[in-house]
């Protein structure tokens, strides 16, 4: 455990959460809670990655014959290589090669075999696997075919000193531990990987979490407070995308983490007033009322969708059909600016303006407009900047509600908003719509947004896309302050 973790936190346990992390003292927003290296890094299902540099590869170590090793790397972990080399003449490694998913479990067995790392394996066994909830499911069968059977029938069991973990249930349990507890991390080339962190794995989930997670280029995980955390408060991070609606978040958590989320946001039909799952009430819209349809749970534990103004109701089947159709249309509109705008206007009569599907379209539109603005082949007009500003304002408004503290997503949206706004104000100034004083005032607003974006991004590791964006934001902030200074000097000269 790190010093910060020891001083600020303790691992507690109860029947509801199992093992979880609790604050031992008051923790200020931005304070680090945990810095930890992974005990294990494995490829995502279907990928084969070099055991040394973690790049995609199709080649293997020439000595042990089973460990993936790219042409640029000459060696990997010495103990692992020597242990596997002793088996290579007798063990049928070919079937393991055909099933790269088995390599993560093989690394776990080697972790247990090695006297220097055996204690870590015992700690891994303390992590939640949800074995019984996974039994006889699709993922159980997939692991049986691609991991369990290849490992059991390759002939390596007799080579391990501790072979009590080499039976079907024990291997499935380890698969469950990896699936439930591993964090997604960026791969060095493309795609992603998974990292297992012993202490970070004990941090519980909340959709309105009080801590953020960042992983640097060396795969070290950093957990820091995104708001002030009181002593004895449970430390939490968010396991899923905060820009999804409640039903979608709960579905992902149930399928991947095997629990039904009952956090404050999930239990609030309005999601803290963000209405990211809400619908427009058609009767109210016809009558010029601002009725909003939200999901409510009845005393019989059944759900119903009901307007908060007129009590107009919608069936759950009707809601699901609307969402399914909307998702299909969003998919077919991909990367098409005009189709996105038409779809946004169409869905605005059905979905609340902050509904997560509307937010998804707005994000896609903002990305397309960014490409137009930054392209050397384009000469964007004023309308492009005006639209970009409006979209970013709406995204920032939603993020202020659902993640009011330090937020990576909010910082990025503020950065985009500040840049687009500054360019728009400069265009207006060039068209004589703003005076020098008015431009200074507008640029000072942009400066405040850029400063806030940089402040939040500076908590991110330096050598990550977010860390690089923090550096860019600081550079642009200096340029903007210089522009404001020159404008003020010009105004003073005139006066």
Nearest-CA neighbor of 222 among 470, 458, 475?
A: 458
pLDDT at position 423 over 80: yes
* Percentage above 90 pLDDT, the chain: 86
Residue 53 to residues 69, 71, 73, 187, 221, Cα–Cα distance (Å)? 8, 11, 7, 10, 18
**Residue 139 and residue 125: Cα distance in Å, rounded?**
20
pLDDT at position 96 over 80: yes
pLDDT digits (tens, 9 = 90+) for 201-256: 999 999 999 999 999 999 999 999 999 999 999 999 999 999 999 999 999 999 99
pLDDT digits (tens, 9 = 90+) for 34-90: 999 999 999 999 999 999 999 999 999 999 989 999 999 989 999 999 999 988 777
pLDDT of res. 379: 83
Residue 222 to residues 182, 225, 469, Cα–Cα distance (Å)? 15, 10, 18
pLDDT digits (tens, 9 = 90+) for 262-315: 999 999 999 999 999 999 999 999 999 999 999 987 666 778 999 999 999 999
Residue 492 confidence class, pLDDT cut points 50, 70, 90: confident
pLDDT of res. 28: 97
For residue 492, give the H/E element and its range.
Answer: helix 465-494
Residue 401 to residues 211, 237, 243, 330, 395, Cα–Cα distance (Å)? 16, 17, 11, 25, 10
Q: In the numeric block, which tokens belong to residue 333?
A: 């509109």
* Percentage above 70 pLDDT, the chain: 97
**Residue 342 and residue 83: Cα distance in Å, rounded?**
61
pLDDT of res. 1: 46
Q: Residue 183 CB: number of other CB atoms within 10 A?
A: 19
pLDDT of res. 147: 96
User: Where do the H-state alpha helices sit in 258-355?
Assistant: 264-267, 282-286, 316-332, 337-347
pLDDT of res. 2: 64
- The dihedral of CA 170, 173, 178, 181: what is its sign? negative
User: Where do the H-state alpha helices sit in 114-232?
Assistant: 118-124, 131-134, 138-143, 149-152, 168-181
Nearest-CA neighbor of 55 among 151, 192, 245, 244?
A: 192
Average of pLDDT values for 99-111?
94
DSSP string, 399-411: HHHH--SS-HHHH
Q: Which residue has the higher pLDDT, 301 or 402?
A: 402
User: Across the chain, what does the average pLDDT equal?
Assistant: 94
In this structure, are residues 370 and 388 in contact, taking their beta carbons and an 8 Å threshold?
A: yes
pLDDT at position 132 over 80: yes
pLDDT digits (tens, 9 = 90+) for 156-165: 888 887 666 6
Average of pLDDT values for 342-361?
98
pLDDT at position 448 over 90: yes
**Residue 345 and residue 78: Cα distance in Å, rounded?**
60
pTM for the full predicted model: 0.92
pLDDT of res. 20: 94
**Residue 189 and residue 119: Cα distance in Å, rounded?**
32
**Residue 369 and residue 377: Cα distance in Å, rounded?**
13
Q: How many CA atoms lie within 13 A of 1 on its CB side?
A: 15
Residue 13 to residues 97, 120, 207, Cα–Cα distance (Å)? 40, 20, 20
């Amino acid at each position: 455990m790190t010093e910060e973790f020891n001083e600020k936190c303790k691992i507690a346990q109860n029947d509801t959460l199992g093992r979880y992390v609790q604050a031992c003292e008051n923790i200020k927003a931005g304070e680090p809670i945990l810095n930890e290296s992974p005990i294990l890094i494995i490829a995502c299902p279907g990928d084969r990655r070099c055991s040394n540099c973690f790049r995609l590869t199709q080649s293997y170590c020439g000595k042990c014959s089973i460990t993936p090793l790219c042409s640029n790397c000459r060696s990997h972990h010495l103990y692992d290589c020597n242990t596997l080399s002793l088996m290579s003449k007798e063990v049928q490694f070919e079937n393991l090669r055909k099933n790269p998913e088995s390599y993560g479990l093989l690394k776990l067995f080697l972790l247990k075999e090695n006297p220097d790392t055996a204690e870590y394996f015992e700690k891994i066994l303390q992590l939640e696997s949800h074995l019984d909830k996974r039994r006889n499911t699709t993922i159980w069968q997939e692991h049986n075919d691609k991991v369990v059977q290849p490992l059991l029938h390759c002939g390596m069991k007799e080579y391990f000193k501790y072979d009590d973990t080499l039976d079907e249930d024990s291997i499935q349990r380890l698969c469950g531990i990896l699936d439930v507890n591993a964090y997604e991390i960026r791969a060095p080339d493309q795609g992603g990987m998974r990292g297992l962190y012993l202490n970070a794995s004990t941090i519980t989930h909340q959709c309105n979490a009080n801590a953020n997670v960042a992983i640097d280029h060396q795969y070290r995980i950093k957990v820091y407070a995104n708001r002030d955390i009181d002593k004895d408060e449970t430390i939490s991070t968010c396991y899923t995308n905060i820009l999804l609606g409640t039903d979608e978040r709960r579905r992902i958590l149930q399928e991947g983490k095997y629990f039904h989320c009952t956090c404050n946001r999930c239990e609030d039909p309005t999601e803290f007033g963000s209405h990211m799952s809400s619908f427009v009430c058609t009767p109210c819209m016809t009558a010029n009322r601002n009725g909003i349809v939200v999901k409510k749970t009845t005393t019989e534990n059944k759900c119903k969708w009901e307007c908060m103004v007129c009590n107009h109701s919608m069936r759950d089947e009707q809601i699901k059909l609307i969402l399914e159709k909307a998702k299909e249309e969003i998919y077919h509109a991909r990367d098409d600016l005009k189709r996105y705008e038409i779809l946004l206007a169409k869905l605005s009569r059905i979905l609340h303006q902050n509904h997560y599907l509307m937010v998804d379209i707005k994000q896609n539109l903002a990305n397309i407009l960014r490409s137009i603005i930054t392209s050397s082949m384009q000469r964007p007009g004023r309308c492009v900047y005006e639209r970009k500003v409006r979209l970013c304002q709406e995204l920032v408004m939603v993020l202020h509600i659902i993640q009011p503290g330090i937020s990576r997503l909010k910082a990025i949206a503020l950065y985009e908003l500040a840049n687009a706004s500054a360019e728009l104000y400069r265009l207006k100034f060039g068209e004589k719509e703003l005076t020098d004083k008015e431009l200074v005032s507008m640029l000072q607003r942009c400066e405040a947004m850029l400063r806030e974006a940089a402040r939040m991004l500076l908590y991110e590791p330096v050598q990550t896309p977010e860390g690089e964006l923090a550096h860019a934001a600081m550079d642009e902030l200096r340029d903007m302050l210089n522009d404001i200074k020159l404008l003020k000097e010009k105004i003073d000269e005139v006066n």
